[in-house]
């Protein structure tokens, strides 16, 4: 991405792969300098001009307002959406910046809790108040939670630089493909193995961390990886060209913040806070920090058709 320095990128990849703590302090707020680069070498959007909006904060359910925290389930291994900074402890990424901005509008403290991706939605409303983890919006997830769309992107294939094995996205049956478990792309590969690739199944390598999938691609251990298009682009940047995208972006879809299906109060408060951030240009600023200028929503869609 255009605003990420190569030295920081290399360090971040190494530390992202090494980071494994689920109970580290994940609030990680630090003052930013002009341009979004913090003094410590971390990347973050400057959110200093985002204040509590009283009429929106008044919409927050009483229990959450009294607690003063917005507890967010996330998977901090999916750059550039959410991943660990060079210290291996502090979360950063566009989802992290957005979560902090939402919390500020609501007058709450942002608290990110690291979790396995597939375990976040089952924990919404009990362990976590909301989930922000680059969740692709689909009908199955909407049966379990409310989804508030803030971004749209697609799926993409990525290979080792130069595509030494001549991987063709139109011919994936029998190939060794890496994917983060529990993602939309994981579901697509599973479906392909029961339909078009039933006679020659894809050898799917499911990993809990996207950074580990990227490492296997860059080192040539697998034929390709299948992931969100911004993640594939970021992988190319952070590995300094050791990974490259192949083929066209597929299956463009929305991404959403997830909230408990029966928590209409919190759903309404989040919708208002996110619309405020969009109307004031803050959402565009957040994504621009991470080199993304397309696909950012201008109005929240709650449970859109998928």
Q: Give 177-232 pLDDT, tens digit per residue.
A: 999 999 999 999 999 999 999 999 999 999 999 989 999 999 999 999 999 998 89
Query: What 3-state class would DSSP assign to 242?
Result: coil
* Position 18 pLDDT exceeds 70: no
Of 302, 304, 306, whose CA–CA distance to 274 is shortest?
302
Tell which wins on pLDDT, 23 or 114. 114
Q: What pLDDT is recorded for position 293?
A: 83
| CA dist., res. 274 & res. 271, Å (int) | 5
* Percent of the chain whose pLDDT exceeds 90: 76
Distance of CA 22 to CAs 4, 50, 293, Å? 26, 29, 32
- Alpha carbon 283 to its chain centroid, in Å, reads 15
* Position 25 pLDDT exceeds 90: no
Tokens of 72: 């967010």
* Position 73 pLDDT exceeds 90: yes
pLDDT band at 291 (very low <50, low <70, confident <90, very high): confident
| Contacts for 267 with CB less than 8 Å, ≥ 6 apart | 146, 148, 259, 302
Q: What pLDDT is recorded for position 248?
A: 92
pLDDT digits (tens, 9 = 90+) for 235-268: 888 888 999 999 999 989 999 999 999 999 999 9
Tokens of 168: 């063709």
Q: What pLDDT is recorded for position 51?
A: 98
Lowest-pLDDT choice from 11-15, 89-93, 200-204, 278-282: 11-15
* Position 6 pLDDT exceeds 50: no
Query: What 3-state class would DSSP assign to 107?
Result: coil
Q: What pLDDT is recorded for position 20?
A: 33
Stretch (H or E) spanning 78: strand 77-78
Tokens of 106: 């609501």
* Position 12 pLDDT exceeds 60: no
Q: What pLDDT is recorded for position 40?
A: 59
pTM of the model: 0.74
Long-range contacts of 187-196 (CB under 8 A, 24+ apart): 188/155, 188/226, 188/251, 189/226
Lowest-pLDDT choice from 7-16, 40-49, 56-65, 195-204: 7-16
Of 230, 199, 232, 204, whose CA–CA distance to 218 is shortest?
232
Distance of CA 3 to CAs 31, 87, 237, Å? 17, 19, 10
Q: What pLDDT is recorded for position 171?
A: 97
Q: What pLDDT is recorded for position 5?
A: 30
**How large is the average pLDDT for residues 43-48?**
96
* Position 78 pLDDT exceeds 70: yes
């Amino acid at each position: 991405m255009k605003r990420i320095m190569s030295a920081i990128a290399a360090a971040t990849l190494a530390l992202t792969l090494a980071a494994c703590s689920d109970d580290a302090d994940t609030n990680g707020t630090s003052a930013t300098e002009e341009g979004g680069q913090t003094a410590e070498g971390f990347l973050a959007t400057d959110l200093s001009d985002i204040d509590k909006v009283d009429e929106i904060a008044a919409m927050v359910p009483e229990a959450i307002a009294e607690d003063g925290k917005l507890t967010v389930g996330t998977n901090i291994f999916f750059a550039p959406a959410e991943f660990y900074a060079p210290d291996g402890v502090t979360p950063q990424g566009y989802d992290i910046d957005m979560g902090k901005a939402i919390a500020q509008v609501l007058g709450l403290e942002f608290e990110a809790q690291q979790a396995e991706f597939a375990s976040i939605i089952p924990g919404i409303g009990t362990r976590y108040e909301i989930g922000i983890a680059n969740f692709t919006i689909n009908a199955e997830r909407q049966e379990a939670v409310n989804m508030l769309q803030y971004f749209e992107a697609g799926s993409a294939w990525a290979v080792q630089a130069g595509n030494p094995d001549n991987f063709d996205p139109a011919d994936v049956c029998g190939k060794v493909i890496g994917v983060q478990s529990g993602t939309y792309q994981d579901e697509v590969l599973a479906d392909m193995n029961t339909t078009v690739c039933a006679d020659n199944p894809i050898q799917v390598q499911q990993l809990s961390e996207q950074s580990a999938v990227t490492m296997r691609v860059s080192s040539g251990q697998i034929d390709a990886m299948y992931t969100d298009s911004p993640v594939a682009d970021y992988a190319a940047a952070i590995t300094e060209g050791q990974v490259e995208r192949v083929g066209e972006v597929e299956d463009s879809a929305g991404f959403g913040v997830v909230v408990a299906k029966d928590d209409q109060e919190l759903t309404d408060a989040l919708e208002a806070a996110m619309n405020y951030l969009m109307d004031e240009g803050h959402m565009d600023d957040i994504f621009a920090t991470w080199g993304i200028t397309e696909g950012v929503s201008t109005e929240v869609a709650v449970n859109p058709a998928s």
